Structure 1
């Protein structure tokens, strides 16, 4: 028997997405007739709010100005009343017919299930390359394979999601943050491969600006997740450089120069900073479980 949404809140962030909502909302109502559907109108200048109400949204929460995709998701999570939250885009990229695949996986015992995009579903070669790089970097940090770090199509336990809400950025990189945070505390994260279709309307994502921001977010969360994985390579680089320079100056000039001492000292300090960060991280996450 398929889930009809009695325990599900659907959160749809929307900024000038009236064309996509005309297509998505009727499909959602058909597939999940009893779900709570929350459209967060993120400062739209078109008829997003009116279209949402017309086509069956349970709630429309409007921001007075655009705060960002992540901020809209956070608003939706705060206004949701059901135990489980489904996040999806309003631009028809996410196929509502695949929702039951995510829900089915979720009820196998996962705390979050992500709709992982197929390679051919990526919007462009640059996006595909960038997302692949993010996935590999994040997988190294968390020690688990991450199939899709940035997908906004996901089912998650609402209470566990809200426990990390203070970590989530207001921009498009909220999926990155919540995924890595869940791995940090040992929650179960699953993946279901899904197709993603061409969006209706104009994308609000900048490949260059938001791509650089994603990298900053990954490193930020990496230092909150496994600081030593970030600090140790830098510490080793300084220590090896310092010892190597010392060996060179000793063999060539029979001297121990200040630069060697500086590099070795810097390496030691960076390593100790990593240890301290590891302890601070442990204290931060101990109340999140």
Structure 2
């Protein structure tokens, strides 16, 4: 029988953990539960001790992704379940994820509905990510950024070197699994209102969300993003040339610049494709 490890990254989430950990222990009494304390200055450690849960503490904050990596390295289970430590995820849903995992999948993600999104802006951004990831991979991606997921430990640890220390570990791990042909499934869930204050900051994380879009492409198949962009530049150059030739009877620098941009963007995509292939190559 596979041993289960449940990993919860947490930063100043003591009030939420005080409610969540007893429920989680009741739902999964045999599981190894690890709280990765990301430099908390509240009572996170004492709450974990009172609940009989292992707590890995960091002297300062390293990021959500760093906490995930630390927890994955320390876990002894064959199956890893990642949950947010803010009380959004229902411990009862762990069993649903595990049931789907046992049907032959290597990763099962808890997919939030629209009502579970943290605001309209976040909901629209996640909808865009899901659409782009679906187009890139050719597989339905129902929730690219969900932090509630069950994975096979050996498969997940293959990609620890790719995971960022920040908040985008779900995007990275999902695209890495698709790229490596590890089957991914989705289970609908409802996320509750978080307990406490969110660590998301609109300005900083708005830039992060834009970077995620490029990460989606570069983690799977860069040419699928760069080739259409190259074609757009080429067509713009052709349109500009046709307009200036008809009206002025000459070739302008703008047309030449757009065609040059098309070639450069295509070459960047070609090089990125080779780098991506090398990133996923494993020594036998």
- 1:131 maps to which residue? 126
TM-superposed deviation, 1:259: 3.1
SS in 2 for 1:30: helix
Q: 2:170 aligns with which of 175, 180, 186?
A: 175
- 2:8 maps to which residue? 12
TM-score, length-scaled by structure 2: 0.94
Which segments of 5 or more consecutive residues in structure 2 lack a partner in the other structure?
A: none
- 1:197 maps to which residue? 192
Q: 2:103 aligns with which of 99, 103, 108?
A: 108
Structure 1 residues 126, 217: CA separation in 2 closer, same or farther (over 3 Å shift)?
closer
Whether 2:156 is the aligned partner of 1:156: answer: no
Superposed counterparts of 1:30-109, under 5 Å: 30-57=26-53, 59-109=54-104
Give yes or no for contact 1:134–1:215 (8 Å, CA) kept in 2: no
Whether 2:208 is the aligned partner of 1:213: answer: yes
Structure 1 residues 269, 125: CA separation in 2 closer, same or farther (over 3 Å shift)?
closer
Higher mean Cα deviation, 273-282 or 76-85?
Answer: 273-282
TM-superposed deviation, 1:206: 2.1
Runs of 4+ in 1 over 6 A off after TM superposition: none
SS in 2 for 1:190: strand
TM-superposed deviation, 1:21: 1.1
Give yes or no for contact 2:156–2:173 (8 Å, CA) kept in 1: yes
CA distance in 1, matches of 2:125, 2:78: 33
- 1:22 maps to which residue? 18
Give yes or no for contact 1:130–1:211 (8 Å, CA) kept in 2: no
Which segments of 5 or more consecutive residues in structure 1 lack a partner in the other structure?
A: none
Structure 1 residues 182, 68: CA separation in 2 closer, same or farther (over 3 Å shift)?
same
CA distance in 1, matches of 2:236, 2:23: 60
Over residues 85-127 of structure 1, what are the superposed CA-to-partner deviations in whole Å (9 max), with x where a residue is unaligned?
0000122110001110000000101110011112112232222
Over residues 164-208 of structure 1, what are the superposed CA-to-partner deviations in whole Å (9 max), with x where a residue is unaligned?
112111122111111111111111111100111111111112234
CA distance in 1, matches of 2:255, 2:67: 51
TM-superposed deviation, 1:262: 2.8
Higher mean Cα deviation, 119-128 or 90-99?
Answer: 119-128
CA distance in 2, matches of 1:222, 1:288: 24
SS in 2 for 1:86: strand
Structure 1 residues 118, 245: CA separation in 2 closer, same or farther (over 3 Å shift)?
closer
SS in 1 for 2:92: helix
TM-superposed deviation, 1:257: 3.1
TM-score, length-scaled by structure 1: 0.92
Structure 1 residues 118, 288: CA separation in 2 closer, same or farther (over 3 Å shift)?
farther
CA RMSD of aligned residues (A): 1.8
CA distance in 2, matches of 1:263, 1:218: 24
Structure 1 residues 159, 273: CA separation in 2 closer, same or farther (over 3 Å shift)?
same
Give yes or no for contact 2:13–2:86 (8 Å, CA) kept in 1: yes
Q: How many residues align?
A: 284
